Structure 1
Amino acid sequence: MDMLPVLMLAGGTFVVLALMVLAFSGPSAERAGARRVKSMRERHVVSAVGANAMEAQMRRVAAARATRMDVTAARFLPNPALLQKRLSMTGKPWTLGQYMMVSAGLTLVPAVLIMLQGLPILLGLGVGLVLGVGLPHFVVGFFIKRRVARFTAKFPDAIELLVRGLRSGLPITETIGVVGQEVDGPVGEEFRAVSDKMKIGKSLDTALQETADRLGTPEFQFFTITIQIQRETGGNLAETLANLADVLRKRAQMKLKIKAMSSESKASALIVGALPFIVFALVWFINNNYMANFFADQRLMIAGGGGLLWMGIGAFIMAKMVNFEI
């Protein structure tokens, strides 16, 4: 029974950190865009029977190149396919094996250090799990968001370059290759990937749809659906893409306005959520014997766990109040 308050405190800390990570993980515009284009995408998904054999061959080649650590990570990590997709979205050459090693190190090292300080074992395990699971996930998400932001910022320029190529008489397949060579950053990388997929036998619609599924951005989904509809119904593709570039620029401007209007509320929520932890750490360094009562007195453990839980709920609500979908 003596370990019950410690377990409650460790569980409350984990719940609070999980809620704060979920709340401040970023706007849900991607999910909203995915919901808006889902019905249209389902009507325009093309079958790629001829590309299936090529894709299977590429998977076999990738599996042959995988290291033993990657194979081990794929066995023990939950949902390795989704994790590999997230790692590829960062644009970094990270592998499942490297991710597992970093997570294991971040879990074991803090747990051992906390236990060597004489603190409860469950507290060390709780902190280690939070760091080992949450920190790598946060870092990967940070790089994904940064790359997607860079992609979204230059994507209208790439569409306008595509429009100029179409108006000059180039076919869409060659124009995509030109955009991949002329535009730097994530936009050029993705267009070069689309061009390379077409060179190995995949159709334009299939290559674009695979890139759209991997990126997960509404902007590229709109672009993919526009190309698919135009190939089925006909029309002036250059004019349609020019209108799409204008819409994407206005969408980006609206996002910046909302970000500026909600920045004060987000800063307040972050300060209010972080201030108790900062004060706790400062008092701990000044007089650790005084703060050690939180790990010895059962009443303080229960009160601290309840406070952490309510703080997490409050931070979650504040984050959702300033989170807008476009």
Structure 2
Amino acid sequence: MDYLYYLFVVFGFLAVVLFLEGVYLAWNAASGPEAKRIARRLQAMSAGGATTQSSTLAKQRLLAKTPAMERLLLRIPRIHHLDRLLLQSGLELHVAGFIGISLLMALGGALFAIFLGLSILVSVAITIGLGIIPWFYVVNAKRKRMDTIEQQLPDALDLMARAMLAGHAFPSALQMVGEEMPQPVAGEFHIVFDEINYGISIQDALTNLATRIPSTDLRYFVISVLIQRETGGNLAELLGNISALIRARLKLLGTVRVLSAEGVLSAKILTALPFVLAFAINALNPGFLKQLWTDPMGIKLVGVALGLMVLGVFWMWRVIKIRI
């Protein structure tokens, strides 16, 4: 009897383990890292904007997960610009999800303003401010991703040049970059390799790459490859020269950023100083600044001051923004 009990326990343990293993394998096949990576590559295939007939071989990137929402979003003018922004940011987010998050944050801001009993002008400002936070987040994610790609691009071009010097073809060099380089540049070059394998021409695949990545350095690479395919020449040497040029530009850009760091810090301090000072004054003497939002003239003065601050921030941003 004891042996049957122990045997039952052992089989029960094995059944639980096998059940958990089956659940894990099913989840990994549907939503695991490899499945997500393949889905991202397939969805990003045609987001570059190629219009040739061969581009229909690639899977179309969806704006929403439901057909009804997809048809509704397609009626919005220039909705694909937002979709391209989300693609360039590298975020796993559809247009419908982004719009939903923005609307939820705006609704939360409106309910919060109504709960506090604020004025209509302040309520609208809070609603709009919270509603555009996701857009700023996506733009910031795109900027960081583009900066990372520009930093990785010289190494990717050097790898392609060495591969071609070793006798590999251009598509094989693209595949090597996609397999050996870190993300996100590896994923972008692997998409180009997959598009070429699916029958899209090299010109269209590289054009899609330049559209997905709005980088001047990458466009130099694309234009150079396309010209070389028309006129001939040593592509490996050309890629090496472009890589050296990009490294020199990044070095000069780093020097400029160091020299302009003082101006950037001054701009941030001057932008935050009025708000910090107003908060400190209000904390020390709560009734001192009350006239600014209770009196109509005070509200107008605050509006004028905020408008001048926005103009000053834009002016300082243009002064310290230097393109190399």
- TM-score, normalised relative to structure 1: 0.78
- For residues 315 and 63 of structure 1, the distance between their equivalents in structure 2, rounded to whole angstroms, comes to 37
Write the letter of the residue equivalent to 1:54. L
- Offset of residue 141 of structure 1: 0.9
Write the letter of the residue equivalent to 2:84. K
The answer to whether the 8 A contact 2:292-2:298 is kept is yes
Residue 263 (structure 2) aligns with: 265
Alignment of 1:282-321 (within 5 A): 282-285=280-283, 287-321=285-319
Summarize deviations over 1:221-243 as a string: whole Å, max 9, x none. Answer: 00000100100000111111111
- Offset of residue 49 of structure 1: 4.4
The answer to whether the 8 A contact 1:177-1:192 is kept is yes
1:51 matched to 2:51? The reply is no
Summarize deviations over 1:74-117 as a string: whole Å, max 9, x none. Answer: 26866320111010111121111221121112212122212222
Where 1:185 maps in the other structure, the secondary structure is coil
The answer to whether the 8 A contact 1:72-1:97 is kept is no
Residue 153 (structure 2) aligns with: 155
Where 1:291 maps in the other structure, the secondary structure is coil
Write the letter of the residue equivalent to 1:202. I
Write the letter of the residue equivalent to 2:173. T
Alignment of 1:167-316 (within 5 A): 167-285=165-283, 287-316=285-314
Residue 71 (structure 1) aligns with: 70
Task: Give the aligned length.
Answer: 275
Residue 102 (structure 1) aligns with: 101
Q: 1:142 to 1:189 in 2, by over 3 A?
A: same
The answer to whether the 8 A contact 2:210-2:222 is kept is yes
Residue 8 (structure 2) aligns with: none
Summarize deviations over 1:202-253 as a string: whole Å, max 9, x none. Answer: 1112111101011110111000001001000001111111111000000101
Residue 19 (structure 2) aligns with: none
Q: 1:68 to 1:104 in 2, by over 3 A?
A: farther
Residue 4 (structure 2) aligns with: none
The share of aligned pairs that are identical, in percent, is 27
- Which of structures 1 and 2 has the bigger CA Rg? 2
The answer to whether the 8 A contact 1:73-1:100 is kept is no
Residue 91 (structure 2) aligns with: 92
- For residues 293 and 272 of structure 1, the distance between their equivalents in structure 2, rounded to whole angstroms, comes to 24
Q: 1:108 to 1:50 in 2, by over 3 A?
A: closer
List, as ranges, runs of 4+ consecutive aligned residues in structure 1 with deviation greater than 6 Å: none
Residue 119 (structure 1) aligns with: 118
Write the letter of the residue equivalent to 2:311. I
Q: 1:49 to 1:323 in 2, by over 3 A?
A: closer
Moved more, 157-166 or 271-280: 271-280
- Offset of residue 302 of structure 1: 1.4
Q: 1:70 to 1:280 in 2, by over 3 A?
A: farther
The answer to whether the 8 A contact 1:73-1:96 is kept is no
- For residues 110 and 192 of structure 2, the distance between their equivalents in structure 1, rounded to whole angstroms, comes to 45
Say which structure, 1 or 2, has more relative contact order (CA 8 Å, 6+ apart): 1
- For residues 259 and 271 of structure 2, the distance between their equivalents in structure 1, rounded to whole angstroms, comes to 20
- For residues 287 and 100 of structure 1, the distance between their equivalents in structure 2, rounded to whole angstroms, comes to 42
Moved more, 170-179 or 305-314: 305-314
Which blocks of at least 5 consecutive residues in structure 2 are unaligned?
Answer: 1-49
Where 2:290 maps in the other structure, the secondary structure is helix
- Offset of residue 67 of structure 1: 2.4
Write the letter of the residue equivalent to 1:117. L
- TM-score, normalised relative to structure 2: 0.79
